[in-house]
Structure 1
């Protein structure tokens, strides 16, 4: 992390120097089969894992960081047979892939659910409350109205706030699941109902593609705060 709390240095190392691009080039050079089953297996096994390790911690908010990571998947899928001239959003649909930002949000939600269930330690002292209509909601920590712009930005992108806001848009049928398997299944079914259009050069996106944005457009539940 840099002095201004940015994960850009880490992301640059992960994408370019930690062999994510090098591994993609190696795979494309060694394996000549470009059929979807083979390419997807190689991508998921050897490449995607390199840009997702511990992503709930360093999940970026800067558009150029998001696009830098996503470019790994975007460029690799373009080399799959029959998809060279298909735009990226449609490639995701045809390959049944999820954008990397959407996967990072999913990991973040699952981690906070584990905190709620006592599977992971609650080091940040995240507070939850039961709502008869909406289910389990996260109570976001308060922020003084006099906080500086920099402090507000740090607050908005901190894990407790970011994860809390993501969890607070989940419907009751998802956030009240009590086992990890049922929670992942319900979460997956819910995410399948939302568009997945990550910010990509050359495409005009409706929003940031965050789960929060899509739910807000559909009139999602309000976020709980400390009184």
Structure 2
């Protein structure tokens, strides 16, 4: 296929063709090569039992011998035949256990490179399957068939889709004197993107498997670069690029309500190389008096005007208000909805970029949610694998469970003792899954596994984030004001990057990231805070804190 497609003079063949015709020509040549060079076999449904993925030839042979000796004993029930069967039965059981352990160890160690095999094995052990439940239609009636569910979801997704008026698009107001140069998509850029494709993924509606595109990347990058460049210059997308397989994903709330599902589109692999998307919008401000509230309402009105002008309308029913602080007067706010101005509902919890916020800013709701997710995964691992060897437990725990407990901890690090204990209890229970360690104390289990406590990990994540902010690896300034302030004067004691610790009155402020981290950061040696890279900083901090009290002895116990 590489030889055949490389012989085509793509620049000559695609010259003079518009974007749509160029795409059709490329796809036609590609599918002809696929039909000619990739063999196809028909898989017939078999009545035979499907072989388990962990089955090896030695295991199959042992099971055959076991079955054969059993039949011999059934026809001639002598002590000699039973002894022969018993030996064969024990050998078959031994082979099965060995094969299962070997296969499970393989899919665990290769989890990051081949997650598909891991989750397929997990699914085979799961009794319940994830399906779309019965839904309510627009009349409040329950629909049960797949066709009816598809209709309900399609009607809802279509109702919130905006059909733009292309004849009434406003002029974009120039905000800079700088001009965008010629945007050109090069062959090397396309080949690099094709080389990053995940070959384990399924093909899109175009039936072009990522594996094929990956293997042919050196010869198809030229025609694709030409087609992408034509698409940019002509401002045209081929019709087939707009097709997608849509899957409804449940977000939150009542599972019977169609509005609680989001459409996720599986687009064509080639088109996904160049796609963009927009996300949520947030408006925030101080509201200690009526004037402050009116200012926020004016900002919301400006957003409404902008959305109407650019035909990107907000769904007022899904817009929420959350009030923070003891002095907040909790004013009602409104936005333009389908039936005129709508009062925005007040929410007591809202997820933003994976973190659940609440008016108290104690993050107890978020902690409970993280713990529930982690415990579900922990139960799944226990049911699937049972007691684990150390070499199997560590990659599973570090890849699946611990990330649930540590994502964005610099934002929501728990304040209350009960929340700190909730998080640590997950790791405490998880370490009991390791063979031979369940009778040890939690601290000794951590030492044996080389796992630090979650409390220590949060402390380490805090100072690492400060390092990234001070060295401008992460940008956190708000209108020119940084959340961290360096001391103006340099003291003899300490390093040259000490932070100023402001006075705080409330515990919420005291335990926020920008305050709680200052003592730990200021106490570090100069060599660590002036490390030349993030990886060097991690190495130095691990060495410096190797005997830290909370590393294996969390303070919550």
| Fold match by TM threshold 0.5 | yes
Give 1:45's aligned residue.
399
- 1:134 pairs with 2:494: yes
Give 2:527's aligned residue.
173
Give 2:547's aligned residue.
193
Counterpart contact for 2:387–2:433, Cα < 8 Å: no
- The runs of 4+ residues in structure 1 deviating greater than 6 Å are none
Give 1:212's aligned residue.
none
d(CA) in 1 for partners of 2:360, 2:411: 16
d(CA) in 2 for partners of 1:42, 1:194: 26
Tell me the SS of whatever aligns to 2:443: helix
Q: Pick 1 or 2: higher relative contact order, CA cutoff 8 A, min separation 6.
A: 1
Give 1:110's aligned residue.
464
d(CA) in 1 for partners of 2:491, 2:435: 49
Deviates more, 1:52-61 or 1:131-140: 131-140
Give 2:433's aligned residue.
79
Tell me the SS of whatever aligns to 1:49: helix
Cα displacement (A) at 1:200: 4.9
Counterpart contact for 1:133–1:172, Cα < 8 Å: no
Cα displacement (A) at 1:125: 3.4
Which of 119, 126, 148 is the equivalent residue of 2:473?
119
d(CA) in 2 for partners of 1:200, 1:161: 21
Counterpart contact for 1:131–1:137, Cα < 8 Å: no
Instruction: List aligned pairs for 1:137-156, cutoff 5 A.
Output: 137-143=498-504, 151-156=505-510
Instruction: List aligned pairs for 1:194-209, cutoff 5 A.
Output: 194-195=548-549, 196=551, 197-201=553-557
Deviates more, 1:47-56 or 1:166-175: 166-175
Change beyond 3 A, Cα 1:41–1:99: same
- 1:9 pairs with 2:365: yes
Counterpart contact for 2:463–2:521, Cα < 8 Å: yes
Tell me the SS of whatever aligns to 2:473: coil
Deviations 1:107-157 (A, max 9, x none): 1111111111011113343112454541121111234xxxxxxx4312211
Which of 158, 173, 189 is the equivalent residue of 2:512?
158
Change beyond 3 A, Cα 1:181–1:132: farther
Structure 1 gap ranges (5+): 144-150, 202-227
Cα displacement (A) at 1:82: 0.8
Counterpart contact for 1:15–1:69, Cα < 8 Å: yes
Give 1:97's aligned residue.
451
TM-score, normalisation: structure 1: 0.79
Count of paired positions:
192
Counterpart contact for 1:137–1:168, Cα < 8 Å: yes
Counterpart contact for 1:56–1:104, Cα < 8 Å: yes
- 1:30 pairs with 2:384: yes
